[in-house]
Structure 1
Amino acid sequence: MAAVKDMWKAGGGIEMLPSEDTVDLAKRHLVQPWPTAGEIGAETRSLIGSGDGIYITDGDGKRLIDGPAGMWCVNVGHRREELARVMYDQAMQLSYNTPWYTMNEPSAVLAERIAGHAPGDLSHVFFTTGGSSAVESALRFMQFYNNVRGRTEKKLILSRGGAYHGSTYLSASLNGRPRDRDWMDGADELIVKLSSPDPFRRLAGMSVAAFCDRLVAEFAETVKRIGADRIGAFVGEPVQASGGVIVPPEGYLRRIRKICRDNDILFIADEVVTAFGRLGHVFASGDVFGIDPDIITFAKGVTSGYFPLGGMIVSERLLEDLRRSNHPTAMYAHGLTYTSHPVGCAVALANLDLLENGVLAHAREVTPYFQAQLKTLEELPLVGEVRGVGLMACVECVADRDSKDPLELDRNVGQRIDAHCHDLGLLVRPLINMCVMSPPLTITREQIDDMVGILREGISRTMDDLRKEGVWRG
């Protein structure tokens, strides 16, 4: 490995190693996220070498459409020189300051810009390093808020099936996706789980409106049964992203918001995925769903993935309650070394400029075409439903459309489709029996046609495979 180290030094960290050397290093030293026990510390994944616009290039030099935009995050596309230059310029001016007893200009300016886009009276921003830490910060704020107000029993958190809120201890405790919690501990004594707002999985013969009524009734009954004096917050994604792009029924979020307000339960909208353009607006809560949460968490698209940054924006009302309390010296003893990082905040400001100056408008303009073209995939017998909103969508595959059973016969059907699509020039995010698509917001109609065409062929090849293996007859 001496030759590899010498090459890396000679390249200044820019020139890529031969792909086989990178794979070897990763297999011997790198622990990947979400590994299985049988492969932990000895696993390799697809090597990505470069990116440009909506495209990435893998370790073999193959050019691919970046279907998931990294991890829902490369919203303005790869290789934006404007962001790279701001990153360099800010690092040369101020690379870091401790947030414990100093502050920097980019974070103050960014907080003001973000507050200007937020709904209701959300006006103050606490910056973190990503989505998990943003949700964790919001939950710890809820606990602090109720402790200061003398409501030490008001700490339970309502979450839902299908939810994904992060990987830190409290945020991960909220997760409701299959397999996320099978082998991991959590703060189960603090969490109350509700049903997923997934209309596709509603009872046979039930209308979407009746399904919505049922969800709202379950929420209200849960609050009554447990007691509002014990429930501190409801945490929900406006669209359940990693749960399969679950778009709730019309009016559901507004009705849940009212129950929370009537019972003094904090409504925390987890917009880690939906904020900063994914649905065509900086925040989806107000502009798309007509709600004004008490707290919004965000990350990912705030820097388009160019720098790790996240945060929460908090209602002025909540902060005023704290300032008027009988405990003026009570401390919100929570912070991160990289809170309000000057480089990250500077990049986010430049990213917000790009969004405001055309990218958001473009996303709104191409969204109907994106959704309509993907919807044509429902012609394929393996596809049970295509659903989505904005520039995020999910193609869910089922063994049988009538029963809507997932493909128990092949839990890795999404990975099969991804493998075929990779060969054809598209990176897909496979989730068991689902394929999630959330490309950079800069995608054009022609590129949407390319993406959907490749995905159609990848699904068709997978159907052929399953038929040949005799495990599916669709």
Structure 2
Amino acid sequence: MKDSKLSAAEVIAGWNAPDQVAAAQAHLLSPFESMEKLGQTPDRPLLTRGEGVWLYDEAGRQLLDGPAGMWCTQVGYARPEIAEAIAAQAMTISYSSPWYFLNGPSAALAARIAAVTPGDLNHVFFTTGGSSAVDSALRFMQFYNNVLGRAGKKTILARIDGYHGSSHLTAAVSGRAGNRPNFDLEMETISFLSAPNMFTRPEGMDEAAFCDHLIAELEERIETLGADSIGCFIAEPVLASGGILVPPQGYHQRTLEICRRHDILYISDEVVTGFGRLGHWFASEEVYGITPDIITFAKGVTSGYVPLGGFAISDAVLARIAGEKSKQSFYSNGYTYSGQPVACAAGLASMDIIEGDGLLEHVRDIAPYFQAQLATLADLPLVGDVRGAGLLGCVEIVADRAKGVSTDLDAKLTLRIDRLCYDKGLIVRPIRSMCVMSPALVITREQIDLMVRILRESITEVGIAARAEGLLP
């Protein structure tokens, strides 16, 4: 393989699939790679093309893309408008250094995003993706408090089952324990609060009481640590990789009010929920009634066509450390590809499609149907919970409720369900014991019906097989 020198044109035209797999086997280190299987035939199927909500693998199998890539292909695959915008910008100016120059696409996209953010979040900082967006927002919190002379106000309040990225800092504030083994993370300035998981709340506790319980925990934590030591609270409106956890009603407003009272920055991590996933450009204000200090975004900003991320920040926060109050400081955090013009052109084209095709209105119209159809799976014996918001849905597999949730058996059965769904033409995202869906915003009712039918068939067949094997009562 050392002498393999295929051109881009040859690869795009259809490089031999077995040779692609062999090249990956020999040279590619993928995310979440199994070291035990390194160098063996990859478990991951080889995808060859996409169109709309559909993907196609090397065997020619048509697959409904249930997770929209990684929560990101908002407008679907093979949209010529985005491809043409990328090509045109690349032939105009493909790169400009953000340290020394401005470029038109980044200025235009910043203005476009500022026009749809809540409240006074009118300044936008661009990064390369979700991890760098959250990392930059957290570093801004550190910078902000240093400029204000509050060097000790740096603790980050995060939540169990939250996910915020794969950089050193964002991995540390992610509350999913499965991301931590064999990595060294600096955890001293991070304090985790309970996950707002309605499914696993204490038995007999209703939604309102559960919300009170979570709020009391937050207030107690601030009292214990001291507000003068806490820099920010970071929260996804819906905990995505944690299993589509939708907090109890009123939770977001109450946590924001507490943060305001104690001068703690509120960072709303909308890397997943931003750009239409819940039927609005951002979910913070329109869905959950809050105007945070910072909103992070990525994924859907370009519909996954090229990498881009960033954060929007409020004028009120910036005013405290800008102008005469700046102490001649510089927010020197940045990236070679901050405001990359080709990526920003893709973002503008994606926003054009979302607006022109009325996709926000479409999501608000179709999301109740999506949630209702998923809810029909709740009658299956293996299904412990069905939950979601907008075009985010989760079916949690629970083999034996007496043993609690997310056992090793649940995870194994969920993986079987995932593989059977794939064979039947549906991609789902298995997160331990959870089948997660977040389809492209362009999905139709007929495609939702297909998704739910395949899920029902696959869960049912896995349950029958598991009982025959003596794994279930």
Please give the range of the TM-score, normalised by the shorter of the 2 chains: over 0.9
CA distance in 1, matches of 2:168, 2:8: 41
1:302-317 matched pairs, under 5 angstroms:
302-317=301-316
Say if 1:135 and 1:82 are closer, same or farther in 2 by CA, change over 3 A: same
Preserved CA contact (<8 Å) 1:32 1:41: no
Q: Alpha-carbon deviation of 1:60?
A: 1.1
Q: Alpha-carbon deviation of 1:36?
A: 2.9
Determine whether 1:360 maps to 2:360: yes
2:115 match: secondary structure: helix
Give the partner amino acid of 1:412.
Answer: K
CA distance in 1, matches of 2:68, 2:326: 45
Preserved CA contact (<8 Å) 1:383 1:395: yes
- In the other structure, the counterpart of 1:25 is 23
1:259-408 matched pairs, under 5 angstroms:
259-324=258-323, 326-357=325-356, 358-401=358-401, 404-408=404-408
Q: Alpha-carbon deviation of 1:10?
A: 8.1
Say if 1:20 and 1:436 are closer, same or farther in 2 by CA, change over 3 A: same
- In the other structure, the counterpart of 2:33 is 35
- In the other structure, the counterpart of 1:441 is 441
CA distance in 1, matches of 2:61, 2:340: 35
2:136 match: secondary structure: helix
Select between 234-243 and 178-187 the one with higher mean Cα deviation: 178-187
Q: Alpha-carbon deviation of 1:257?
A: 0.2
CA distance in 1, matches of 2:65, 2:26: 27
Q: Alpha-carbon deviation of 1:447?
A: 0.7
Determine whether 1:425 maps to 2:425: yes
Preserved CA contact (<8 Å) 1:216 1:252: yes
1:320-371 deviation line (CA, Å, top 9, x unaligned): 1111455432121210000001011111011111112211111111101000
Determine whether 1:192 maps to 2:191: yes
RMSD (Å) for aligned C-alpha atoms: 1.4
Select between 282-291 and 359-368 the one with higher mean Cα deviation: 359-368
Select between 359-368 and 123-132 the one with higher mean Cα deviation: 359-368
Preserved CA contact (<8 Å) 2:238 2:273: yes
Q: Alpha-carbon deviation of 1:17?
A: 1.7
CA distance in 1, matches of 2:21, 2:466: 30
Q: Alpha-carbon deviation of 1:404?
A: 3.8
CA distance in 2, matches of 1:439, 1:28: 32
- In the other structure, the counterpart of 2:118 is 119
CA distance in 2, matches of 1:31, 1:201: 36
Select between 349-358 and 260-269 the one with higher mean Cα deviation: 349-358
Q: Alpha-carbon deviation of 1:384?
A: 0.5
1:167-246 matched pairs, under 5 angstroms:
167-246=166-245
Preserved CA contact (<8 Å) 1:32 1:43: no
Determine whether 1:166 maps to 2:165: yes
Give the partner amino acid of 2:366.
Answer: V
1:379-398 deviation line (CA, Å, top 9, x unaligned): 10000011000001000011
- In the other structure, the counterpart of 1:59 is 58
Q: Alpha-carbon deviation of 1:11?
A: 3.6
CA distance in 2, matches of 1:329, 1:316: 18
CA distance in 2, matches of 1:43, 1:291: 48
Preserved CA contact (<8 Å) 2:237 2:283: yes
CA distance in 2, matches of 1:256, 1:304: 30
CA distance in 2, matches of 1:410, 1:383: 10
CA distance in 2, matches of 1:148, 1:111: 25
- TM-score, normalization by structure 2: 0.97
CA distance in 2, matches of 1:58, 1:450: 19
Aligned residues: 471
1:392-432 deviation line (CA, Å, top 9, x unaligned): 10000112245543233353222211110011000110111
Give the partner amino acid of 1:333.
Answer: S
- In the other structure, the counterpart of 2:106 is 107
Show structure 2 runs of 5+ residues with no match.
none
Q: Alpha-carbon deviation of 1:441?
A: 0.6
Give the partner amino acid of 2:240.
Answer: A
Give the partner amino acid of 2:328.
Answer: T
1:55-103 deviation line (CA, Å, top 9, x unaligned): 0001111000000000000010001011100010010111000000101
CA distance in 1, matches of 2:39, 2:135: 27
Give the partner amino acid of 1:467.
Answer: R
Show structure 1 runs of 5+ residues with no match.
none
1:313 match: secondary structure: strand
Preserved CA contact (<8 Å) 1:239 1:248: yes
Give the partner amino acid of 2:29.
Answer: V
Q: Alpha-carbon deviation of 1:180?
A: 0.9
CA distance in 2, matches of 1:402, 1:112: 53
Q: Alpha-carbon deviation of 1:319?
A: 1.1
1:229-272 deviation line (CA, Å, top 9, x unaligned): 00000011000000000000000010000000000000000000
1:7-45 deviation line (CA, Å, top 9, x unaligned): x33844411222211111111100010123323455611
Preserved CA contact (<8 Å) 2:127 2:338: yes
Preserved CA contact (<8 Å) 2:123 2:315: yes
Give the partner amino acid of 1:342.
Answer: P
CA distance in 1, matches of 2:410, 2:263: 45
Preserved CA contact (<8 Å) 1:31 1:41: no
Preserved CA contact (<8 Å) 2:233 2:267: yes
2:344 match: secondary structure: helix
- TM-score, normalization by structure 1: 0.97
- In the other structure, the counterpart of 1:451 is 451
CA distance in 1, matches of 2:257, 2:419: 45
Preserved CA contact (<8 Å) 1:149 1:325: no
1:199 match: secondary structure: coil
CA distance in 2, matches of 1:164, 1:175: 4
Give the partner amino acid of 2:272.
Answer: V
Preserved CA contact (<8 Å) 1:148 1:325: no
Select between 364-373 and 459-468 the one with higher mean Cα deviation: 459-468
CA distance in 1, matches of 2:136, 2:2: 43
1:49 match: secondary structure: strand
Residue identity (%) = 54
Give the partner amino acid of 1:290.
Answer: G
Preserved CA contact (<8 Å) 2:398 2:410: no
Q: Alpha-carbon deviation of 1:281?
A: 0.5
CA distance in 2, matches of 1:65, 1:325: 55
CA distance in 2, matches of 1:41, 1:353: 43
CA distance in 2, matches of 1:305, 1:423: 25
Q: Alpha-carbon deviation of 1:201?
A: 0.3
Q: Alpha-carbon deviation of 1:177?
A: 1.3
CA distance in 2, matches of 1:299, 1:414: 28
CA distance in 2, matches of 1:107, 1:42: 42
CA distance in 1, matches of 2:153, 2:293: 16
2:48 match: secondary structure: strand
Say if 1:41 and 1:298 are closer, same or farther in 2 by CA, change over 3 A: farther
